[in-house]
Structure 1
């Protein structure tokens, strides 16, 4: 009988349990290796606490309540130290923290791992409520590019300064490629998907409704408002606008393609205007292209006489002296020193 008892004792584990969070002194116990941590926790748990609020830690590693002493890695015959600690809800590992910097980052991370389970509504809301560059929530001042993408101006300017613009936004090269927009705040933003709305119809700025940005004044209005109130002036500031001044925000693939075509066309026109302006400034009539009334290409300059200083000599002055004020009219073989022009070599 004594032998069987000794054998049974050898198969049991001798462990120590402590809980500094509950101010429980360290206790030494002899338990069966199949004893679960949940049962062990109940032996120490105060009546006013739920079992889920505490967990066991062994060797700095948290243990699941369903595991046994053997499956937790406690070696047979060793004196293991288990620590009972409070579980801090929301600190990680419980679903309260994703590790993502923003909602947009979380969606991108989830889309890579489980693309078939991405909620299209979340993608839509993120596109309309966050900066297309940084993924942070839209905060005024907000700008839109010529393709209808929304940006926080600070994030966009910082990326331009440090030359960290992604290839998809390569068309944005400076402030001239941005349009400052005015987003109307949503009074019921606390109970809404977005904190912006149409100032005329009250439609939420969340992607369910189409919105235009007016390039002239920067006000953002819903397409419904512009259809119902047919006017050629902004409904907020009453500034006149053309049909080409209406810029669709976060449009479809076809609408973005049309905006890109219009952007390239306008940039081409602007380039042509600059080239024509430069040609006027450096045209063939410029005085530097003339040589004694004859242009460099061998043609006459239309009878325009080239001005010379000696043509307007003041009274009591010789042409040679007057011309020497503007040009070196008299050539000399004498060489000047490097230190002073008034002491040329060979004169003293």
Structure 2
């Protein structure tokens, strides 16, 4: 049986004062079951019953009996657990004066979803840019600084299903393997990786660089404090051009894109020169053969007859390599001794 699709969602509850959590859930999980697993029993006893709480997505209330898929909850979205306010007027509830058209007009125009920039930043540094799954080795980075899990990226390339935004990735040469340093004992936390030198978390609050030669990912702070032309982890030498900004700004991505185009231009130029040299060499070799059968420099043209063994008949030996007698019959491609019309 096919496994259920997993969704990564962020759950918060400002009304109850509970800490926000990042959860990976099955798409068929109902909101009521999620409510039971998220709210402690001590809080449930204070709020009297479970029905006094409800989930909302971008300000829109969700039905407890519906699943995440049925409610249209996308990956990397934020669910807010709210406390229902009891009636009595003045609480923003219905007063009986509103008509049904009032509510229909309220949702007639679709409002743009409000995205928390902090959650977007965290998702960009902790999930694959293609599959939105949590980053897990083996991981790669493209030439513009985007992070990927290697397996889904390779599958998308093989099946030619790569989105247009990643059209600059043409093959395995555009995937640079990287080594992310895990945080000990951080299996359940939102951030699982860190800088191996400074210990800064890999969550977007700090700048990081990937070294193309060895693939180690270090914080910018570590490379500034320890000025060295060798990797601080494996001590392999690298050039300034080997530093790649991870999830850089628009200006930094533009610099990486320009560098990528320059490298591809130089590679294309070298290939064209190599092909041109090969073609030029062949042409000169053909032009060097003169009409009298000699090459430039006085070298004699090779003939098979010149290598004829002693006491061999010249005509018989020459017939091995070419037809020694002119005939009206055409030879076949299978045997020269069977001219067309005699086989």
TM-score under structure 1 length normalisation: 0.63
Note closer, same or farther for the CA distance 1:129–1:301 as it changes in structure 2 (3 Å cut): farther
Structure 1 residue 340 displacement after superposition:
6.8
Q: Secondary structure at the match of 2:210?
A: strand
From 54, 58, 66, the equivalent of 1:92 is 66
Change (3 A) 1:233 1:52: closer
Note closer, same or farther for the CA distance 1:123–1:304 as it changes in structure 2 (3 Å cut).
farther
CA distance in 1, matches of 2:181, 2:246: 15
Please state if 1:102 is matched with 2:75: yes
- The change in CA–CA distance for 1:268 and 1:186 in structure 2 (over 3 A counts) is same
For residue 100 of structure 1, report the CA deviation from its aligned partner: 4.2
Q: Which runs of 5 or more structure 2 residues have no equivalent in the other structure?
A: 1-47, 53-62, 79-109
Query: Which residue of the partner structure matches residue 230 of structure 1?
Result: 227
* Cα gap change, 1:267 to 1:301, in 2 (>3 Å): farther
Shift of 1:166: 1.1
Please tell me whether residue 189 in structure 1 is matched to residue 186 in structure 2. yes
Q: C-alpha distance in 2, partners of 1:214/1:187?
A: 23
User: 1:302-328 deviations in whole A, cap 9, x for unaligned?
Assistant: 555443323333322344433333334
Asked if the contact 2:216–2:233 (Cα under 8 Å) also holds between the matched residues in 1, the reply is yes
Quote the Cα distance in structure 1 between the aligned partners of 2:209 and 2:72.
35
Question: Do the aligned partners of residues 149 and 337 (structure 1) sit closer, same or farther apart at CA in structure 2, a change above 3 Å counting?
Answer: closer
The aligned residue for residue 142 of structure 1 is 139
For residues 97 and 187 of structure 1, the distance between their equivalents in structure 2, rounded to whole angstroms, comes to 37
Q: In the comparison of the two structures, how many residue pairs are matched?
A: 252
Show CA shifts across 1:68-95 (max 9, x none).
xxxxxxxxxxxxxxxxxxxxx97636x8
Query: Residue 326 of structure 1 aligns with which residue?
Result: 321
Q: Deviations over 1:8-57 (max 9, x none)?
A: xxxxxxxxxxxxxxxxxxxxxxxxxxxxxxxxxxxxxxxxxx66569xxx
**Residue 118 (str. 1) matches residue 115 (str. 2):** yes
Contact 1:134 1:155 survives alignment (8 Å):
yes
The yes-or-no answer on 1:270 pairing with 2:267 is yes
236, 239, 242: which one aligns with 1:242: 239
Among 285, 304, 311, which residue is 2:306 paired with?
A: 311
Secondary structure, counterpart of 1:136 in structure 2: coil
- TM-score by length of structure 2 reads 0.64
Q: Within 1, Cα distance between the matches of 2:289 and 2:238? A: 53
Q: Deviations over 1:227-283 (max 9, x none)?
A: 111111111111100100001111111110110000000011111112222233333
Say if 1:183 and 1:220, in contact at 8 Å, map to a contact too.
yes
Deviation at 1:293, TM superposition (A): 2.9
Task: Verify the 8 A CA contact 1:182 1:218 in the aligned structure 2.
Answer: yes
Which position in structure 1 is the counterpart of 2:204? Answer: 207
Whether contact under 8 Å (2:194, 2:201) holds in the other structure is yes
| Cα displacement (A) at 1:209 | 0.6
Q: How does 1:1-348 map to 2 (within 5 A)?
A: 52=50, 92=66, 99-100=72-73, 102-103=75-76, 106=77, 115=112, 117-190=114-187, 192-285=189-282, 289-290=286-287, 292-293=289-290, 301=296, 303-336=298-331, 342-344=337-339
Change (3 A) 1:328 1:170: farther
SS state at 1:143 partner: strand
Structure 2: how far apart are the matches of 1:154 and 1:336? 58
Query: Secondary structure of the residue that 1:189 maps to in structure 2?
Result: coil
The separation in 2 between residues aligned to 1:340 and 1:311, in whole angstroms, is 24
Q: Which runs of 5+ in 1 are unaligned?
A: 1-49, 55-88, 108-112, 295-299
Deviation at 1:291, TM superposition (A): 7.0
Q: 1:252/1:338 Cα in 2 relative to 1: closer, same or farther (>3 Å)? A: closer
Cα pair distance change 1:282/1:327, threshold 3 Å: farther
Greater shift after overlay, 321-330 or 200-209?
321-330
- Are 2:182 and 2:194, in contact at CA under 8 Å, matched by a contact in 1? yes
